Amino acid sequence: MGAKEEKVALLRNVSIFAGCSDKVLYRMAGALRSFKVEPGQLIIEKGELGDCMYVLAAGKVRVHDGPHTLAEIGPGKIFGELALLDTEPRSASVSAVAPSQLYKLEQESFFRVLAEEPEVSRAILKMLVQRMREQNAAIVAEYQRREKELTRLVDERTRELQQANERLQKTYDEIRIQNQNLAAAKETIHEQLLVITQKNEDITASIQYAKRIQNAILPAQIELDLMFPHNFVLYMPKDIVSGDFYWAARDKNVRAVAAVDCTGHGVPGAFMSVLGYSSLNQIITRTHLSKVGQILNQLDSNIRDSLRQSGQEGQSRDGMDLALCSVVGGYTLHYAGANNPLYLFRADGEFIEIKADKRPIGGGQYVLEDFTRHTIPLSPGDTFYIFSDGFADQFGGPRGKKFSYKKMRELLTEILCLDMTEQRRKLHEAFEDWRGDEEQMDDVLVMGIRV
């Protein structure tokens, strides 16, 4: 086995890379830096900021807090892997026990591969969610055990009190002891609350990591500004992570954008968003950006294949709605939509709605037909909008009703004369004023582009 194959074999044992392809593992392997240490030599010092992961190829190291050994690690094991995701002080020191050879993966190299290989994001999201599930299962099991124990204690004490009342022979000391035991039970309940609170904080922290990864794959504002100098994005996730996402790509004189609304929100929606984003990037490597209908056909096929949707009863019906636009040259717009329409305002204020095909991407239960490509000539000053349903479906106002697409069109007509930055601000203000004290119902995404 060659050196690079050895590195790849070691990386396969790392949980955050377990779902990655050989291509990604070979890229990661190329970023590993080899070095050797002698017995007693310090590799990690407790308290220092972590920015890399280590893989032990040969030898032995120990994890310790001062003179106290916490664990010993042998060949083929890794340590410090969470430092790839966030720079935090190390919680323990690591020193060599025997002459050892190690590989080191720097955070900077990891993020470089992460930016270029979206499947790494999916693998990390999967690992983080698995950890969240394990933590949640541990919380539930611990709560049930303590609840059962507490019930037993309360039942036992209740029987003792009933017997004491029936016999009238209980002494003051016995009653005092019983009161002390009840106080202990109360303290147990308080300790349970502290444990549950800590577990919830840990779960929230894990989802925050997932948010950073999801935000990293979205197009940067500077990229959108280079493609469309006059644009805005109003992006408001309901939870920490989102089922809505926006996408952009460019090929020579063709610029494309999409606003996508995946099934659900929060962590389930975020999984679907990563799947959709990655699939779009794969499709455009072999389908021209102007062929928006073909892109949606292929995306529909990919989602159905990934989720094993054949239309049979009991299968997953998850999918996504979206609007996809590409601008060829300066003034030819191609649009295809799955449930989500395109709003176009001419420079003179004329409003045109281009309706979408009435079916989603994926979902499993719909008749398979090709998505329609609409071609619309544009003129300087024309403005078009694509969006998810979160804005129009928000409950609020004086009667607690939905904002509605009608009000949304009226609002866009009112603010059409403003520049794009001001339009975004007005949309955000209108949404918050309408929502008031109501809970945000769904993820919100609105994109506006003026040519």
Which pLDDT tens digit goes with each residue over 337-394? 999 999 999 999 999 999 999 999 987 666 678 999 999 999 999 999 999 999 999 9
Same domain, 41 and 152: no
Q: Where are the alpha helices (DSSP H) in 240-318?
A: 266-283, 292-306
Same domain, 360 and 385: yes
The CATH number of whichever domain residue 378 belongs to comes to: 3.60.40.10
Long-range CB pairs of 174-182 (<8 Å, 24+ gap) are 181/153, 181/157, 182/157
Per-residue pLDDT tens over the stretch 262-305: 886 667 777 888 888 999 999 999 999 999 999 999 999 998 88
Same domain, 308 and 205: no
Distance of CA 365 to the CA centre of its chain: 26
Six-digit token pair at 41? 């030599």
Domain count, the chain: 3
Same domain, 325 and 417: yes
Same domain, 93 and 207: no
Report the number of secondary-structure helices (H) and strands (E) in the chain.
10, 21
Same domain, 144 and 199: yes
Alpha carbons 54 and 36: distance in angstroms, whole number: 12
Alpha carbons 354 and 386: distance in angstroms, whole number: 11
Q: Which of 124, 103, 125 is nearest to 11 (CA)?
A: 103
Same domain, 411 and 431: yes
DSSP 158: H
pLDDT of residue 358: 93
**End residue of a domain, out of 190, 213, 236:** 213
pLDDT of residue 79: 86
Same domain, 166 and 264: no
The CATH number of whichever domain residue 37 belongs to comes to: 2.60.120.10
Q: Which of 276, 268, 326 is nearest to 298 (CA)?
A: 276
Same domain, 97 and 138: no
Same domain, 205 and 236: no
Residues in the chain predicted with pLDDT less than 70, given as ranges, are: 1-2, 16, 18, 120-132, 134-136, 204, 206-207, 209-210, 264-266, 310-316, 364-367
Same domain, 107 and 128: no
**End residue of a domain, out of 84, 99, 116:** 116
**End residue of a domain, out of 213, 233, 263:** 213
Six-digit token pair at 15? 């949980």
Cβ proximity of 295 and 287 under 8 Å: yes
Q: Which domain holds residue 16?
A: 3-116
pLDDT of residue 443: 93
Same domain, 190 and 111: no
pLDDT of residue 124: 65
Mean pLDDT of the chain: 87
Alpha carbons 451 and 447: distance in angstroms, whole number: 13
Q: Which of 213, 209, 269 is nearest to 245 (CA)?
A: 269
